[in-house]
Structure 1
Amino acid sequence: MAMAAMSSVQLGLALSVPLFAQLGAVGTAGLRLAWAGLLMLVLIRPRPRDFAGRDLLACALLGLVTAGMVLLFMLSAARIPLGTASALEFLGPLAVSLLRPGGGRRRWAASAAVGVVLLTEPWHGGIDPAGLGFALGAAACWAGYILLTQRVGDRVTGLKGLAVSLPVAGVIAALVAAPSELGHATWPLVLVMLGLAALSTVLPFSLEFLALRRLTAGAFGTLMSLEPAIALVMGILVLGQIPGPAPAVGVILVVIAGAGATRTGGRETAEATETVEAEAEAEAETDAEAVPERDVREPALCA
């Protein structure tokens, strides 16, 4: 599921890049996230009573960082090659792993640092500064996305958390894109973005949620370290973006650093997740028992 998620999201991103000329990077991201949020609402239909107050807040925060991650990454992909943008964005998950307890993983920071230098090629200005900044901003959002996804995945059953976070992300992205970009959208483009929303947002995000229920964070992080390499391949096959020797080696070094740093960076056992889920369910049941049930014969109140 993790491999399918990475392949799906990178294919969708590669297919989105040609649309930048018509919708712009922000418009493409905004329309894609808006469709994804609507699809999740229709398919999952979350209800407020399914969430504790703090869990609902965590879902909303997850939606905020998801919007930031997608918008900033699309802005970077419009300025620098897809493989380079993805490798720089992966510094977010890498930082999460490196900053966790256990100094042994910090030795991989040197590999990541060398990889970033080769990707950016500062000796001859080989990268767009704005694209670099957007990619690093996306990396920070991805770090927050991982931490919040683990919390929401532990506390909320099924895909209900995603069915709240994606609509929040869609609303934020649409508000950002609407003033300048969405006015250029045509009905054919709207329908194309519906397909891309399903391919590169709904499907991979759902698979990531499900994968995190079956893998430790360390194992999941090791698999995710392959995403820059997948992005490099998609950039070559779909966009014809053939990297030079230095950026290609840079991507490889970032992948190696991510795999090495995250191998022991997760929870000790998958049972830790199950314990937290059981505690959350027990808490929800206690809250439900504390509220008296309404008589089913009582007429519903319309807003």
Structure 2
Amino acid sequence: MYLGAAAAVWLFDVASPSAVAWLRVCGAAIVLLAWRRPGRAAWRGKVFWLAAVFGVVTAGMNVAFYEAIDRLPLGTAVALEFVGPVLVAALGSRSVRDFGALLFVVAGVVLIADVRWTGSPLGVVFALSAAVLWAGYIVLGKRVASLGLGVDGLAVGFAVATVVLSPLAFGAGPVWTSPRLLLLGVGVGVLSTVVPYVLDQIVLRRTGQAAFALLLALLPVTATVIGLVVLRQVPSLPEALGILAVVLGLTMRTRERDSRPEPL
């Protein structure tokens, strides 16, 4: 996911954030369709509409987040977007212990994210929009996983989203005349969408949406650890405390009964 984010930043120099988000979805759709080749049943009835709405919501989340980080410090945008998973986790909490775990996780994310309240009000609107859509991604993603749509659902959903959001492609500019940039756009789709969202489907089949929402707090933790190992960026004291708070919060949450996984 973070390699894909780095590649997306390179594309920001030649294309609008929304166009880069569209390229990400389009690249993911091409790869998933070639891999899975969903049958006719996946393109009909309730199954199709669920996958389609899921794909459009997910694509909208990516567009809103890319527009947010173009206007806000990354840490601020991440912290604001995390409101979505926090809301899902809060609504799914069943005990005082669960709410305590949620507080630890929220505090940890804020410490890691290095929130700085600078930037445009429009950036805040985009970040909060991404938060709402992220909550939708979790809820709809759980339904997609529970119905056994799995990766086929992702393929159909992203294909629909590619068509629905196709006007954003006009912002890609020079990308269309550069095979290297087009390949980079597909790479962003594979790294930032195909791999992590397929893994999300695997996890969602085995856990509830509230627990999954809390597990998403591992994303900023992972980013910090990668920065330490790969870039030798030593975490500050607040970041280290934030990691400990996230880990503590995740271990505190009430365990859910395992659900029997269905084939992808």
CA distance in 1, matches of 2:201, 2:249: 20
> Equivalent residues in 2 for 1:76-95 (5 A)?
76-95=68-87
Asked whether the equivalents of residues 222 and 259 of structure 1 are also in contact (C-alpha less than 8 Å), the reply is yes
Structure 2 CA distance for partners of 1:72 and 1:199, relative to 1, 3 Å? same
Q: By how many angstroms is 1:128 displaced?
A: 3.8
RMSD: 3.5
CA deviation map 1:75-133 (0-9, x unaligned): 12222333442333222111101012525233456553796599545xxx434433322
> Equivalent residues in 2 for 1:252-263 (5 A)?
255=246, 259=250, 263=253
**What is the aligned-residue identity percentage?**
37
Total equivalences in the alignment: 258
CA distance in 1, matches of 2:108, 2:120: 18
Q: By how many angstroms is 1:44 displaced?
A: 1.0
Secondary structure, aligned partner of 1:269: coil
CA distance in 2, matches of 1:242, 1:25: 30
Match for residue 169 of structure 2 among 169, 178, 191: 178
Q: Which residue of the partner structure matches residue 39 of structure 2?
A: 47
Counterpart check, 1:144 vs 2:136: yes
CA distance in 2, matches of 1:174, 1:239: 36
> Equivalent residues in 2 for 1:172-211 (5 A)?
172-175=164-167, 177-179=168-170, 181-185=171-175, 186-187=177-178, 188-211=180-203
Q: By how many angstroms is 1:13 displaced?
A: 1.0
Q: Which residue of the partner structure matches residue 258 of structure 2?
A: 269
The two structures have a TM-score, normalised by structure 1, of 0.70
Structure 2 CA distance for partners of 1:83 and 1:114, relative to 1, 3 Å? closer
CA distance in 2, matches of 1:239, 1:82: 18
Q: By how many angstroms is 1:205 displaced?
A: 1.2
Q: By how many angstroms is 1:189 displaced?
A: 1.0
CA deviation map 1:237-288 (0-9, x unaligned): 9999999887x58965984696378x33x753313x66xx9xxxxxxxxxxx
Q: Which residue of the partner structure matches residue 65 of structure 2?
A: 73
Q: Which residue of the partner structure matches residue 293 of structure 1?
A: none
CA deviation map 1:208-239 (0-9, x unaligned): 21233344546544432111233456678999
Q: Tell me, which stretches of 5 or more residues in structure 1 are unaligned?
A: 1-8, 278-303
Q: By how many angstroms is 1:36 displaced?
A: 1.1
> Equivalent residues in 2 for 1:10-21 (5 A)?
10-21=2-13
Structure 2 CA distance for partners of 1:71 and 1:166, relative to 1, 3 Å? same
Q: By how many angstroms is 1:22 displaced?
A: 0.9
The two structures have a TM-score, normalised by structure 2, of 0.79
Asked whether the equivalents of residues 19 and 172 of structure 2 are also in contact (C-alpha less than 8 Å), the reply is yes
Amino acid at match of 2:29: G
Q: Tell me, which stretches of 5 or more residues in structure 2 are unaligned?
A: none
CA distance in 1, matches of 2:125, 2:244: 20
Q: Which has the larger radius of gyration?
A: 1
> Equivalent residues in 2 for 1:133-172 (5 A)?
133-172=125-164
Match for residue 57 of structure 1 among 46, 49, 63: 49
